[in-house]
């Protein structure tokens, strides 16, 4: 009997993508290569991510910092909620 885990697809926002990428810190060359391959695979599978990344890179530094604060607040709230469970 073979068990398969279903992965539910959800829309990925640039905020979620940025948090993921910024928190991936490779410690080996193989991990760095895997991260690069995954980013390439995801941007190929979801072309809108590539466009959002281009838009994000053009964003002024002040707006970027403000978004980073919002993301950190969201992560903190999610962690608190997760800990309550």
Buried b (16+ CB within 10 A) or exposed e, 31-45: eeeeeeeebeeebee
- Phi, psi of 60, rounded to the nearest 5 degrees: -60, 150
pLDDT over 50 (residue 6): no
- Using the predicted structure, report yes or no on whether residue 33 has a pLDDT greater than 80: yes
pLDDT band at 85; cut points 50, 70, 90: low
What pTM was estimated for this model as a whole? 0.39
Torsion angles phi and psi, residue 12, rounded to 5: -100, 125
How confident is the model over 36-84, as pLDDT tens digits?
888 888 888 888 888 887 887 787 888 888 888 888 888 888 888 777 6
Q: What pLDDT shows up at residue 67?
A: 80
């Amino acid at each position: 009997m073979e068990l398969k885990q279903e992965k539910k697809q959800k829309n990925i926002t640039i905020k979620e993508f940025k948090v993921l990428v910024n928190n991936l810190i490779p410690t080996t060359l193989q991990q760095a290569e895997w991260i690069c391959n995954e980013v390439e695979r995801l941007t190929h599978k979801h072309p809108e991510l590539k466009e959002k990344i281009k838009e994000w890179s053009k964003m002024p530094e002040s707006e970027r910092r403000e978004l980073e604060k919002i993301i950190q607040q969201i992560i903190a709230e999610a962690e608190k909620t997760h800990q309550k469970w």
